[in-house]
Structure 1
Amino acid sequence: MIWLLVTFIVVLLLGAPIVFAFAFSSIVYLLFVSDLPSDMFGAVLYSSLDSFPLMAIPFFLFAGELMSQGGISKRIINFSRALVGKVKGFLGVITILASGFFSAVSGSGVATVAAVGGMMIPEMKRSAYPAGYAAALTASGAFLGSIIPPSIPMVMYGFISNTSIGDLFVAGVIPGFLFVIGFLLLNILAVRKFSLRESEAEGAGWTADTGQLRKLMLTGKAAFWALLMPVIIIGGIYGGFFTPTESAVVAVVYALLVSSLIFREMKWGAFVSATVSSALNTSMLLITLVFATIFSRLLTIEQVPQKLADSLLNVTEQQWAIMLIVILFLTLIGMLMDTVTGVILVTPIVFPILVTGVGMDPVHVGIITVVTLSVGLITPPMAINLFLAGKIADAPMMQIVRYLPGFLVVSYMVILLLSFLPELVLFLPKWMAG
């Protein structure tokens, strides 16, 4: 088994795509090291994709793309602007709130960076925010796309661990809220050091003299249909109207109707672009899933997760110590690969340790897994959100990293709260269940 892990790490360090590292190391191990039958390869290729819950992923990706290109982001940003008013650092506050709202619509961290960052980063730079800070703030707020429902990584965790996706969606609400509060407080403290030149821009339907209540009414009315989608998804699942997979189809239909008939901004070119983009992302994600499943299946057959669990439990039986070790492990994985791939890789390892070994609730474990891996979106060397936000801000990575420690401290404070106060995660699923 050591050859499987060594081959995987070597190929990864050579700069190969993560999917190639999974595929190459698994094939080499099956053909040249293991006594396992090679025909299991084909069986796993088929079985890894033969799942009804898995169909939710391409539909949620498609819905997110449609909402991103259908005039959603500017309505959400205008609503956030009206909600905040004008205080020092209000552009940063708007960026965080808009990221939270848009995450609940798109389910994607990268889409949130592109949609919110594309509008807010240039505006922050014009108001004398340091480019590195604007990029770090946007990238950090955008990883809420992996936490606030609907969340693609949560769908993947639920699929692999056979955990209720509906419960995971609901359990992500409070963690997402805690991250928003933490980043808002951090922004309030950070902007004290900046000499800002913020001026409140006019929004759609108002002027500089428009009252605050009037602004809220105008922007709330415009953003209503966008913000209603997560309510329909979660309410429909818990109301028994449709399954999580069916809710993804509902999200696509809803996104099409809102973007084309209500907002009337979904042109044919935008629709084709959204379709192609979601198809490419789905293909890449599912190819990664296939080979990551083979890799994790080999780990399971060789009893690596069970051996790790036994070794860890032999070192200590203290739940808090085991939890800290697992968080460190998830952090390292999150630094090396995207959240969805990380979930595929670590779930078969973490689940036996925390659920079977320690007796934690699988929903609680799922939230800790997804949240900790999501921090990797702003943690080099992978840091997809940081690179994209830096490109929009035209800021070198060294300038962005300078402002990163505060966001990481807030993130891990929230992770520790969620880890050791499980009711923060489990309260809403229990309340809605009964």
Structure 2
Amino acid sequence: MISGILFISLVVFLLMSLPIGISLGMSSLVTIAAASPISMETFVQSMMQGLNSFPLMAVPLFTFAGEVMGKGGISKRLINVASVFTGRFTGGLGIVTIVTSLFFAAIAGTGSAAVAAIGLIMIPTMVQHGYDKGYSSALVATAGTVGVIIPPSVCMVVYAVAAGASISGLFMAGIVPGFLIGIGLIIYSVIYSKKHGYKGDSRRYTFKEVGKIILDAIPGLMIPVIILGGIYGGIFTPTEAAAVAGVYGVIIGLFVYKEIKLSDLVYLVYRSVLMCAPVLIIIGISTGFGRILTISQVPATIANAILSLTSSKLLVLLLINILLLIVGTFMETNAAIIILTPILLPIVTLLGVNPVHFGIIVVMNLSIGFITPPLGANLFMASQVGEISFDRLVKKIWPWIGVMIILLLLITYIPQISLALPKALGVM
């Protein structure tokens, strides 16, 4: 009865187009009023406990760092470096976009930021060189999904809090899958470009120009080295690394590249607050929502239902992937992580799936939701940046979604892709 009231009211509020955080809170209040699974005091305490987490401080800090780096001229310099080494190949501009997205992912930690920062430069450039606008926009949107997989990743921080997993282990586990996704996207881009005659950039660089471009980009390229090197060198925690990244980004933007002014920092802080405040509200309310789920034994019921269908790890993971892909099309990513992790993690751990590996599976599934209609955040961003209708972009995104699903299955069923590096470095 409790779970029925909770989920039916949640669906009703979502159908009323209320924000996901408000819908979660309202459905929780309706359930408390109707069935009293917990008291209001307990619900509020659960919300506060969900937010009273040192690792969660990394969310606003990485958000601010990504904003500073996106506005500070780093993306333009990363594109220049990628152009030097990959721009001349078939479909070279597509390769440049994907490679730059990999580097930017290791700086910003979010997907939409990469789409905006890189798309503003690369989509018009690709169109000028004869690339189809729909293809170019879809490529940028898909490449932006890597932002939540390669560390530092805000989504991984949220999963670590929900699952009680190691943030350092998750960060390191995301590196190889992130690069595998990049390689998969490049392969598809090259095949498509050969078929449609998309050539590379014909510009030839002198050794002097190459040296100047690389030297100019070094301050930006040092950011992931500082973040990851500091974490795994034991110099600072992932949360402290987020603060270091923000300070370093400010220094680079103000004094090295000089593309932001001191007065811009107020606006960048404001932007960061607007971006991360809804996430933190959702996390707090989702924790209270999850407390009601636990009290009503919904996780155990769902676990028993799934395991009653099959005890095969392969089939259970397939069912979970399908569920997560569907959820990712309509639910905010961090809310989905907070709600579903306590439900699904006990199921997979019973079957011997490592929690860190499962975290990569969850994050990658939900990252595909960024490019899946009707609510793909990266699609909307690419539509705006590329000045292309959403309907036209949707028609071009399906092959990219297919490539991402193939890569998802590889990462799901070959756990060594995610676990080999963190095990080798002893961070698990």
Q: Mark yes or no: TM-score above 0.5.
A: yes
Q: Which moved more, 1:102-111 or 1:269-278?
A: 269-278
Q: Which residue of 2 is the match for residue 120 of structure 1?
A: 122
Structure-to-structure mapping, 1:9-408, within 5 angstroms:
9-194=11-196, 196=198, 200=202, 208=203, 210-211=205-206, 213-355=207-349, 357-408=350-401
Q: Alpha-carbon deviations, 1:163-199, whole Å to 9, x = none? A: 1100100100011101110111111111234355765
CA distance in 2, matches of 1:389, 1:312: 37
The 8 Å contact of residues 138 and 393 in structure 2, kept in 1 or not, is answered as: yes
Question: Shift of the alpha carbon at 1:280?
Answer: 1.4
Identical-residue share of aligned pairs (%): 38
The 8 Å contact of residues 219 and 252 in structure 2, kept in 1 or not, is answered as: yes
The 8 Å contact of residues 143 and 182 in structure 2, kept in 1 or not, is answered as: yes
Question: Shift of the alpha carbon at 1:44?
Answer: 1.5
CA distance in 2, matches of 1:210, 1:220: 12
Q: Which residue of 2 is the match for residue 204 of structure 1?
A: none
CA distance in 2, matches of 1:28, 1:118: 44
RMSD (CA atoms): 1.6
Secondary structure of the corresponding residue to residue 193 of structure 2 = helix
Give runs of ≥4 in structure 1 deviating > 4 Å: 195-200
Aligned AA for 2:425?
Answer: M
Question: Shift of the alpha carbon at 1:227?
Answer: 1.6
The 8 Å contact of residues 82 and 215 in structure 1, kept in 2 or not, is answered as: no
What are structure 2's unaligned runs of at least 5 residues? none
Q: Alpha-carbon deviations, 1:355-403, whole Å to 9, x = none? A: 2x21211100111010111100000111010111011212222322222
CA distance in 1, matches of 2:204, 2:399: 36
TM-score by length of 2: 0.96
Q: Which moved more, 1:52-61 or 1:268-277?
A: 268-277
The 8 Å contact of residues 132 and 390 in structure 1, kept in 2 or not, is answered as: no
Q: Alpha-carbon deviations, 1:275-299, whole Å to 9, x = none? A: 1100111211111111111112211
CA distance in 1, matches of 2:216, 2:332: 34
Aligned AA for 1:238?
Answer: Y
CA distance in 1, matches of 2:31, 2:210: 60
Distance 1:37 1:94, change over 3 A: same
Question: Shift of the alpha carbon at 1:4?
Answer: 0.6
What are structure 1's unaligned runs of at least 5 residues? 201-207
Distance 1:403 1:209, change over 3 A: closer
Q: Which moved more, 1:279-288 or 1:359-368?
A: 279-288
The 8 Å contact of residues 193 and 199 in structure 2, kept in 1 or not, is answered as: no
CA distance in 1, matches of 2:332, 2:114: 15
Question: Shift of the alpha carbon at 1:266?
Answer: 2.1
Question: Shift of the alpha carbon at 1:45?
Answer: 2.4
CA distance in 1, matches of 2:97, 2:37: 54
Q: Alpha-carbon deviations, 1:25-78, whole Å to 9, x = none? A: 111111123342222122122211111111111111111111111111100111
